[in-house]
Homo-oligomer: A and B are copies of this chain.
Amino acid sequence: MHVDIGNALASEVSPGVSRAALERLDDQVADAHERIERGMANAEHGYEALNLPERTDPDEISAAVEPVADSEALITVGIGGSALGAATITDALAAESDTEAVYLDNVDPEWVSNHLEGLPLEETAINVVSRSGTTAETLANFLVVRDAFESAGVDWTERTIVTTGESGPLRDLANRHDLPSLKVPDGVPGRFSALSAVGMVAAAVCGHDLEALLAGAAAERETLTGSLFDCPAYAYGATAYALDQRGAGINAMVPYAESLETFAEWFAQLWAESLGKDDLGQTPVRALGVTDQHSQLQLYRAGPRDKLVTFVSPGETDDRPIPDTDVEDLAYLGDATLGELLEAEFEATEASLAAAGRPNVRLELEAVDEYELGGLLYGMEAACVLAGELYGVNTFEQPAVEWAKKATRGLLGGGDFEEADAVAEKTELRVER
């Protein structure tokens, strides 16, 4: 991953960060880097995520998925960090795989049923992922999926891989049925686990190159030094932080490749759940080039000056010529390819924001492949950890989600929780049709 922060400089845009301010910030980056290195060296909670390129054993994952490695489809049952990392990888590389990767990361009944109806269950593998083994949505969906396999006369125990913690209901289940199983690594929060078994089982079933994913991440890890001017990940994290301090409380992630749409969702979780606390944190917005030029660009260019736009340039891709046309006004299209049009629109949009004085940053990949993707995921995680140090928040916890979990459980009769009582006390001001 390369990063270009030229369009975030105060000489170009507002809000922007001056070179002098970046240099001052670099002292804080150096201190934060020391903290991060120490956390990594001591395998501290959260920091351990940045050790995954060395810790993850690709052979162990490949061996576990071997019984289902030739499946026509793979259902991953997980939610949040237990789904998004895996989905980011398999969606980015979908064109290279014959396995259809499906993610049951919601409990919408109609949608779950539609997914299950369309799949050849006798050729479908199940990948169930939950650290605790008690995540309500994941366990509910797993019970539904298991039942659907049984109803279709397919032995789910022959087709299921479990990724979970050392103990809990899913671990017990794996032991009882002798299922291939992998461990969610200790000290690695879900949203930082893409480069562990949590994110890589699906990639393995889909036939992607796990070693290249890890090698790309390891190369990015090598760039973690004490200066934002030498490290793309830190350059990004520090610039995003500095712009937020100066009023850019929104961070719009805009990949210029459909294959990276899920990456933007993954980034949104990483950024929101890690930094969104203590009344701090940038709000991530997921967008897509070129599509959202016709939806969000007006706002980004002429709305409030509260945004950083982060572009992802995918590098080399397959291309397709635009056929000639006899319409004079459109002749210029016939001289181009779709890829050239996409690239021109990217450059034009980036320049259009800069010309309006709106800050933007470019993340550059050489291509969308395992190596580059490993680097991108690792780089964004390191950027996020750095930003968390600069904000001074606890990057690796997410305490604010507990309230709703308890209330849900209480509402469904799974115990007494005062949160459930609060639900009934809602203040209404209804306006009816």
Q: Does A348 contact B (CB under 8 A)?
A: yes
Q: Does A304 lie within 8 Å of B323, measured CB to CB?
A: no
Q: Does A327 lie within 8 Å of B407, measured CB to CB?
A: no
Given A144-B323, A317-B110, A419-B352, are A345 and B404 also a contact pair (CB < 8 Å)? yes
Q: Does B136 lie within 8 Å of A110, measured CB to CB?
A: no
Q: Does B299 lie within 8 Å of A283, measured CB to CB?
A: yes
Q: Does B298 lie within 8 Å of A401, measured CB to CB?
A: yes
**Contact check: which of B84, B191, B230, B433 meets A1 at CB < 8 Å?**
B433
CB of A420, distance to nearest CB on chain B (Å) = 8
Known: A3-B431, A140-B333. 15 other contacts (CB 8 A): A6-B428, A109-B320, A112-B320, A134-B330, A139-B325, A143-B334, A144-B320, A147-B323, A173-B327, A273-B299, A281-B303, A283-B285, A301-B400, A348-B404, A352-B419
Q: Does A106 lie within 8 Å of B304, measured CB to CB?
A: no
Please, which residues of chain B bring their CB within 8 A of the CB of A108? 256-259, 317, 338, 342
Please, which residues of chain B bring their CB within 8 A of the CB of A275? 299, 303
Please, which residues of chain B bring their CB within 8 A of the CB of A291? 79-80, 105-106
Complex CA–CA separation, A327 to B269 (angstroms): 30
Residues 150-190 of A, flagged 1 when their CB comes within 8 A of B and 0 if not, give: 00000000000000000001001100000000000000000
Given A295-B80, A407-B351, are A290 and B107 also a contact pair (CB < 8 Å)? yes
Q: Does A109 lie within 8 Å of B317, measured CB to CB?
A: yes
Please, which residues of chain B bring their CB within 8 A of the CB of A303? 272, 275-277, 279-281, 283
Closest B residue to A271 by beta carbon equals B299
Please, which residues of chain B bring their CB within 8 A of the CB of A265? 295
Q: Does A5 contact B (CB under 8 A)?
A: yes
**Contact check: which of B81, B259, B298 meets A277 at CB < 8 Å?**
B298
Q: Does A42 contact B (CB under 8 A)?
A: no
Q: Does A90 contact B (CB under 8 A)?
A: no
Complex CA–CA separation, A375 to B332 (angstroms): 42
Please, which residues of chain B bring their CB within 8 A of the CB of A169? 327, 329-330
Which applies to chain A's interface (DSSP): helix, strand, loop or mixed? helix
Q: Does A347 lie within 8 Å of B80, measured CB to CB?
A: no
Given A286-B286, A412-B336, are A5 and B429 also a contact pair (CB < 8 Å)? yes
CB of A279, distance to nearest CB on chain B (Å) = 6
Scan residues 293-352 of chain A and give those whose CB is less than 8 A from a CB of chain B: 293-307, 317-320, 322-325, 327, 329-342, 344-345, 347-352
Q: Which of A7-15, A44-52, A68-76, A196-204 contacts B (4 or more CB under 8 A)?
A: A7-15
Complex CA–CA separation, A153 to B178 (angstroms): 53
CB of A353, distance to nearest CB on chain B (Å) = 9
Please, which residues of chain B bring their CB within 8 A of the CB of A59? none
Q: Does B348 lie within 8 Å of A407, measured CB to CB?
A: yes
Q: Does A430 contact B (CB under 8 A)?
A: yes
Residues 244-287 of A, flagged 1 when their CB comes within 8 A of B and 0 if not, give: 00000110000011110000010011001101111111010110
